[in-house]
């Protein structure tokens, strides 16, 4: 396509500067980063004639006060009429959160995660030089639990020490769900501008990942020196991104490129800056383009394989999983529809069609009567279910609430059966905590058969489903199951300086893995706390949770406002 006229960059630079001044500070750049490459153009439309006079428009701002007034319930609820036992259990979970935070603060503040046995911090290589993953992941949990002093400590660290001027290789997926999601949620809950400005600044650094022939982003992004150059009909994204070395034939991962929609739409909502979500001259979004590619490619048996080429837009392998590599793609379809206040009909249809194919081809029942979701490898079923797939009980229940009347009860029963199976994977272990994966073959049901699957790393997916099932049915067994998890965590995972995962759930004296995962504070403890809250605390009428349990608001109305300077 033809480039825009030479004056177009100047015009739009002025527009972007105006938007950036209102939305937050520009992204920093770091010297000495990888050599940049210039990417392709985004379906440019030809420019004709003389350039028009520079457009002037009022700066953008997000009307936060109007947004808060639109919420149907107080964020922390009204705490009316609860029984003493429920309150006592909730307070115990709050104490666990304070214990986890206090030890992180004492021994690892500024690092990404706490090593509780050795009482030091862990940085890891997922976040491209970013620090403080536990801080950002914990912000909204601290706020919701009314741990006011601890929340202020976390906020102060973000204000004073959270440096985005880094140069490293980061997981697009992990940075998005943990950092972008955590900062967005903290802003929506508190209105503190520092969280919004950090989210927008970091969001800009993720844009080069979309710079592929199909617009399907690659999994790894350099957070070093980058530039976003806007033109009237073209956006050039400069920077480095590449696929994971282990991903088949340079493919992108379904659960990674399919888990951007919620956060990126909110980046656009808060910034008013089309660079985040909209192409310069159209209403099509970068993340909406992902759906376009997926709707165009043929789905085997209606299923979505886990590996897609960002170059050709074709599947690379026919491996289908509702657990790792696939999981949150499906979650974000139903939640995109809910977040749009049920206006995003494309997302709802994609979810309904996918669930129908999953039920037809992957949902099975064991000889002992347990319902599970198998994996699919080129038409051959692998009768195992990962802990990660246990989120699906809650997802199916959430979708059932909004299904056609004749299907609603069916899907609620399916959700209950899957959640029960995941509970059985906990119940059948010696620690009453579940393994990383469990199988249904050779006489085995809901138990790990391989040594490499016997560990538990403080994962949240089972208690996530308990929380949704409680809110949607009020069956007391889900609170009881959740309390059993609390007791097991206290008995087997709590150590002198925090909480640690364990290497074998089938022994009553397990070895600890010396890692307090950031998602333990973001998800596991948050979902347990909400399980023992009234329904109006982070009400499902007002919020959807991203896949790291960060609450993002449902768009009940338009909160954009233009203000005159």
Name the strand (E) or helix (H) holding 228.
strand 227-230
Distance (Å, whole) CA 536 – CA 518: 26
Active site residue 174: yes
Distance (Å, whole) CA 437 – CA 448: 6
Active site residue 153: no
Q: Which of 371, 376, 348, 379 is nearest to 423 (CA)?
A: 371
SS3 315: strand
Q: Which of 169, 201, 436, 548 is catalytic?
A: 436
Provide the total of helices (H) and of strands (E) in the chain, helices listed first. 19, 24
Note whether 161 and 546 are within 8 A (CB).
Answer: no
Note whether 438 and 418 are within 8 A (CB).
Answer: no
Q: Which of 548, 556, 565 is nearest to 328 (CA)?
A: 548
DSSP 208: G
Note whether 355 and 404 are within 8 A (CB).
Answer: no
Distance (Å, whole) CA 208 – CA 202: 12
Centre a 10 Å sphere on the Cβ of residue 406 and count the other Cβ atoms it contains.
7
Helix extents (H) in 403-460: 405-427
**φ and ψ at 537, to 5 degrees?**
-80, 120
Q: Which of 204, 232, 344, 461 is catalytic?
A: 461
**φ and ψ at 372, to 5 degrees?**
-145, 165
Q: Which of 137, 140, 169, 174 is catalytic?
A: 174
**Can you give the C-alpha Rg of the chain in angstroms?**
23
For residue 509, give every residue at least 6 positions away whose Cβ sits within 8 Å of its Cβ, in sequence order, or none: none
SS3 131: coil
Q: Which of 140, 204, 232, 327 is catalytic?
A: 327
**Token pair recorded at residue 545:** 């949770």
Name the strand (E) or helix (H) holding 263.
helix 261-271
Which residue in the block uniquely carries the two structure tokens 């599947």? Answer: 315
Distance (Å, whole) CA 89 – CA 72: 26
Active site residue 327: yes
Name the strand (E) or helix (H) holding 307.
strand 307-308
Q: Is 547 annotated as a binding residue?
A: yes
Note whether 329 and 258 are within 8 A (CB).
Answer: yes
Distance (Å, whole) CA 491 – CA 38: 54
Which residue in the block uniquely carries the two structure tokens 């449902």? Answer: 554
Distance (Å, whole) CA 429 – CA 507: 8
Distance (Å, whole) CA 350 – CA 334: 9
Residues making up the binding site = 547
Cite the active site residues: 174, 327, 436, 461
Residues making up the binding site for Ca(2+) = 547
């Amino acid at each position: 396509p033809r480039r825009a006229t030479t004056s177009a960059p100047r015009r739009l630079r002025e527009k972007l500067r105006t938007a950036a001044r209102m939305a937050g500070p520009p992204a920093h750049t770091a010297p000495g980063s990888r050599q940049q490459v210039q990417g392709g153009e985004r379906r440019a439309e030809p420019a004709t004639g003389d350039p028009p006079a520079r457009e002037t428009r009022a700066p953008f701002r997000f009307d936060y006060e109007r947004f808060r007034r639109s919420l149907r319930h107080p964020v922390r609820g009204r705490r009316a009429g609860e029984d003493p036992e429920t309150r006592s259990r909730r307070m115990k979970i709050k104490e666990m959160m304070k214990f986890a935070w206090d030890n992180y603060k004492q021994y690892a503040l500024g690092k990404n995660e706490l090593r509780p046995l050795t009482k030091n911090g862990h940085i890891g290589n997922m976040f491209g030089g970013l620090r403080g993953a536990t801080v950002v992941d914990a912000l909204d949990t601290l706020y919701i639990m009314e741990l006011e002093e601890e929340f202020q400590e976390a906020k102060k660290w973000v204000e004073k020490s959270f440096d985005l001027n880094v140069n490293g290789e980061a997981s697009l997926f992990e940075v998005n769900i943990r950092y972008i999601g955590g900062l967005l949620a903290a802003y929506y809950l508190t209105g503190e501008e520092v969280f919004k400005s950090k989210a927008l600044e970091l969001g800009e650094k993720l844009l080069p990942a979309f710079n592929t022939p199909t617009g399907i982003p690659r999994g790894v992004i350099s957070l070093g020196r980058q530039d976003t150059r806007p033109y009237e009909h073209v956006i050039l994204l400069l920077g480095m991104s590449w696929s994971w070395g282990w991903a088949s034939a340079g493919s992108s991962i379904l659960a990674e490129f399919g888990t951007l929609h919620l956060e990126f739409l909110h980046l656009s909502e808060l910034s008013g800056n089309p660079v985040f979500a909209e192409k310069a001259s159209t209403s099509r979004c970068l993340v909406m383009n992902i759906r376009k590619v997926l709707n165009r490619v043929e789905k085997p048996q209606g299923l979505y394989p886990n590996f897609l080429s960002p170059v050709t837009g074709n599947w690379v392998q026919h491996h289908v999983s509702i657990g790792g590599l696939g999981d949150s793609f499906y979650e974000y379809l139903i939640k995109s529809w809910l977040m749009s206040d049920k206006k995003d009909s494309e997302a709802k249809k994609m979810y309904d069609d996918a669930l129908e194919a999953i039920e037809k081809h992957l949902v099975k029942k064991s000889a002992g009567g347990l319902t599970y979701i198998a994996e699919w490898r080129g038409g051959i079923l692998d009768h195992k279910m990962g802990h990660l797939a246990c989120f699906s009980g809650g997802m199916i229940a959430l979708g059932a609430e909004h299904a056609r009347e004749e299907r609603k009860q069916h899907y609620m029963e399916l959700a209950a059966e899957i959640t029960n199976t995941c509970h059985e994977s906990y119940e059948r272990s010696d620690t009453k905590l579940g393994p990383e994966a469990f199988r249904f073959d050779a006489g085995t049901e809901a138990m790990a058969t391989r040594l490499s699957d016997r560990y538990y790393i403080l994962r949240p997916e089972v208690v996530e489903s308990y929380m949704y099932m409680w809110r949607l049915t009020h069956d007391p067994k889900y609170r009881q199951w959740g309390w059993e998890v609390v007791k097991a965590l206290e008995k087997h995972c709590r150590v002198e300086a925090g909480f640690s995962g364990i290497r074998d759930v089938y022994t009553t004296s397990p070895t600890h893995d010396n890692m307090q995962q950031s998602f333990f504070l973001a998800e596991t403890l948050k979902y347990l706390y909400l399980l023992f809250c009234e329904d109006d605390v982070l009400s499902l009428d007002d919020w959807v949770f991203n896949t790291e349990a960060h609450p993002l608001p449902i768009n009940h109305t338009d909160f954009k406002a233009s203000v005159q300077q």
